[in-house]
Amino acid sequence: MSWTKELIHETVEKQRAFFRTGKTLDRAWRIGQLKKLRDALKKHETALVEALHADLGRSAAEAYFCDIGTVILEINEILRSLRRWARPETHFSGFACFPSVITKVYKMPYGVSLIISPFNFPVFLSLGVLCASIAGGNTAVIKASSKSPACTRALTALIRETFPEEYAVVIDGGHDVADFCLEERFDKIFYTGSPKVGSHVMEMAARHLTPVTLELGGETGNWCVIRKDADLKDAARKIAFFKLCNSGQICININQIAVAEEVAGAFLQELKAEFIRQIGENAVSNPEYPRLITSAAYEKCASEAEQYRDRIVFGGTGDREKLKYSPTVIYPVDIHEPIVCHELFNPLLPIVPFQDAEIDRVLDTIAGREHGLALYLFTGDRKWARSVMSAQQYGGGCVNEVCLHMMVKGAPFNGTGHSGMGAYHGIWGFREFTHPSTVLMGSRHLNLPLREHPYEGKKNQWKMRLVRRFER
């Protein structure tokens, strides 16, 4: 189907009409839709795995672990708690409101939501967000990425078979189709992608004053800092695993490493050994190693690697036909060089050496740049790590670990500044797709004339005295 501006408008209006029926407000009905989505994921698992391999060269294990299984976990968490999350809260109104002492806070859906998903995790970052939208009681239009066409086709088939179009639908197409969507008046927009496009999404949403959630990669990347007291073998093992995952095309992946000069040589040896152990000496020829999404992405990666050819200490090889570029370690790199001042989104890994005693200078430099979506620290000094993690500005992160913070149940996944705004996963996603409506339950009896005119004169001085007492 070719999505035109008119067809998109018609689809949005159908969803708006369906939302106004009130059917999505019922918590039991929402739970039913989430169960249908979970069943559909299991039924379409093979098709999704094949699509992820076709678009990204992902292995079946990585496809399930990073995309399909993660959505199922998200659905299961929501199903366990949705009734409690959606239950209206009851508050004591306070003596100032007497005799109307009961206030309710209703968790209301926004209405028709727009979910714009990227290519790198096309299942998780579309259906994972859809889970939150359903939980909140919204309808959803999913604008899937044109860069991952096989996954978009698989998602379209899954959603079409599972839900009516007036409730949930997948739209494919390029930037022009995305702009057709953004021209519509949605009630909530959730975008995952780059800061540059995120700014455009906000600008378009501002025309309708539509609330926006942004999950962005960060303009200057995600730092990993390795102190001289770190367990180097452990750090290398975890970093190698993470950098191999999806060929580095992950918004929370390590973009650059700052390693204490005192242990830099030893760390490099451990890192090389781990890459070889996990993927072999020639990653490009390993069928388990994912590829870059487009020829443009490959050329960008290969071109930047060539600029640092004399400092490549591991990797540096690629296959244009397969769109695969090996994990590539570049050392040494100055902290102000271009390659560590922008997001890479590929398997290049520049390493910046520093004197361990000058760690504060490194952290000051990082803090002076745009906020990353993630920060990773490897150190034996947990007190220092806690002080850094509680002072720096970033989305989320780990100490002596990588990426698993986004898997923690009940914890938010979010960014700040150029790495985004808002949060989701579990209850945080439910909150992101609902707005709290405060309703005071008024009494028809015992009304006090406290707030009513007149206020002046001796007979009315008691009003001000009571107001002051109530508002202490």
Active site residues: 215, 251
**Contact by Cβ (8 Å): 186, 210:** yes
Q: What is the DSSP code (8-state) at residue 101? A: -
**Contact by Cβ (8 Å): 212, 172:** no
Pairwise CA distance, residues 73 & 78, whole Å: 9
Contacting residues for 422 by C-beta, under 8 A, at least 6 apart = 190, 212, 213, 214, 215, 414, 432
Pairwise CA distance, residues 18 & 12, whole Å: 10
Position 196, amino acid: K
Closest CA to 323 of 53, 121, 67: 53
Q: What is the CA radius of gyration of the chain?
A: 26
Q: Please give the order of strands across the beta sheet that includes 112-116.
A: 168-171, 139-143, 112-116, 188-193, 212-216, 420-421
Pairwise CA distance, residues 58 & 320, whole Å: 17
β 139-143/102-109 pair status: unpaired
Pairwise CA distance, residues 408 & 26, whole Å: 28
Pairwise CA distance, residues 99 & 54, whole Å: 65
Q: What is the DSSP code (8-state) at residue 371? A: P
Specify whether the backbone of 153 is left (phi greater than 0), alpha (psi in -120 to 50) or beta.
Answer: alpha
∠ CA(63), CA(67), CA(69), 5° rounding?
95
Closest CA to 133 of 245, 43, 30: 30
Pairwise CA distance, residues 18 & 261, whole Å: 61
Placement of tokens 């739970």 in the chain = 31
% helix / strand / coil in the chain, to the nearest 5? 50, 20, 30
Pairwise CA distance, residues 423 & 415, whole Å: 7
